[in-house]
Structure 1
Amino acid sequence: MILVGPMGVGKSTVGELLAARLGAAFRDTDKDIVDTSGKPISEIFIDEGEPHFRALEREAVRRALAEHPGVLALGGGAILAEETRELLRCLPVVFLEMGLTEAVKRVGLDAPRPLLAVNPRQQWRKLMDERRPLYAGVARAVVSTEHRTPDEVVDEILEVLELKQS
């Protein structure tokens, strides 16, 4: 199962809980990139630029999809690559979504997020306007994380994908 969605939506938190409930392993491609490169994503953006980061991201997603049978969380921009969207076709992908107000609460929009450095609220809206159709296009299900606990989100994912045990 693959989780996609914007930064701060809870992909890692929900993914870990979901994996535990399914008796599966959890993996996060952003963590893979940090582990492989030896530096935080924000530093990769600053030192090498976004195109370099996106190349690392495409490779991390490709490798994780090939190697990891459990629950996988993708970075917020991973779906920008057509190559990645093609790999996700026919896989159990869940788009976790939230609105701007919730994003402000969760991310603060002042955290070290390279794509939100200037006018974070406007940038977040712009990113979501561009990405929402891509997230929805690869997803079998869309689940809101707004005003819900991670456990409630996991319950809905299991229910909508008909994996919930009675």
Structure 2
Amino acid sequence: MTRPVVVLVGPPGAGKSTVGQVLAERLSVALHDVDVAIEAAQGRTVSDIFVEDGEPAFRALERAEVLRALTEHEGVLALGGGAVMQPDVATALQEGGHAVVFLDVTIADASSRVGFDASRPLLLVNPRAAWTRLMNARRETYETVSGTRVDTAGRTPEQVADEVTAWLGR
């Protein structure tokens, strides 16, 4: 059965894309970033999809891409921050026997990494409060679908990748 080596979940700014790239290089596999794949397929940014088509349209694209990648991608899979909030995705992660890592981060580290700019459509109005609301709503789901939690605060992507590879037994 084809499946990712590891699936990375967590909030915006946790380092899923950056750590995912380090892990992919270390494990000699490809990185599949769901948001990047959606942007490539749609020919526009996630932010533009949100603005032009609305969040439900984006979530439908995201759900389809995640469910496809969970059965077809053999490398590192980085999910968008809200993907796990979709019941089909959460169920697939939990029941599929996937190696899922919750990359956790504080708001201070997240804000310094992403800058809470226009490319983060759910964080446009009062970004710090919006991020905190998202994190409060999502934390339990991140923890439920994951086999381990790795704190990324104050750590380099390489240090985070060290912990993930140790957890994977590699």
- Aligned counterpart, 2:154: 147
* Residues 114-153 of structure 1 mapped to structure 2, 5 A cutoff: 114-153=121-160
* Residues 1-166 of structure 1 mapped to structure 2, 5 A cutoff: 1-89=6-94, 90-163=97-170
Task: Report the Cα distance in structure 1 between the residues aligned to 2:54 and 2:88, rounded to whole angstroms.
Answer: 20
Normalising by structure 2, we get a TM-score of 0.93
> Which amino acid is the alignment partner of residue 19 of structure 1?
A
Please list every run of at least 4 consecutive aligned residues from structure 1 whose deviation after the TM superposition is greater than 3 angstroms: none
Q: Deviations over 1:119-163 (max 9, x none)?
A: 111100000000111111110110011111111000011122322
> Which amino acid is the alignment partner of residue 161 of structure 2?
V
> Which amino acid is the alignment partner of residue 91 of structure 2?
E
> Which amino acid is the alignment partner of residue 26 of structure 1?
L
Displacement after TM superposition at 1:19 (Å): 1.2
Q: Deviations over 1:60-93 (max 9, x none)?
A: 1011111101110001110010100111112100
> Does the 8 Å contact 1:4/1:73 carry over to 2?
yes
> Does the 8 Å contact 1:141/1:161 carry over to 2?
no
> Does the 8 Å contact 1:11/1:96 carry over to 2?
yes
Task: Report the Cα distance in structure 2 between the residues aligned to 1:69 and 1:102, rounded to whole angstroms.
Answer: 30
- Aligned counterpart, 2:3: none
> Which amino acid is the alignment partner of residue 54 of structure 1?
R
The alignment yields a C-alpha RMSD, in angstroms, of 1.0
Displacement after TM superposition at 1:17 (Å): 1.0
Q: Deviations over 1:22-45 (max 9, x none)?
A: 121111110111011110000000
Query: Across the two proteins, how many residue pairs are aligned to each other?
Result: 163
> Does the 8 Å contact 1:15/1:72 carry over to 2?
yes
Task: Report the Cα distance in structure 2 between the residues aligned to 1:110 and 1:38, rounded to whole angstroms.
Answer: 20
Task: Report the Cα distance in structure 2 between the residues aligned to 1:50 and 1:65, rounded to whole angstroms.
Answer: 22
Q: Deviations over 1:75-123 (max 9, x none)?
A: 1110010100111112100000101111121111234311011111110
Structure 1 runs not aligned, ≥5 long = none
Structure 2 runs not aligned, ≥5 long = 1-5
SS of the counterpart of 1:56? helix
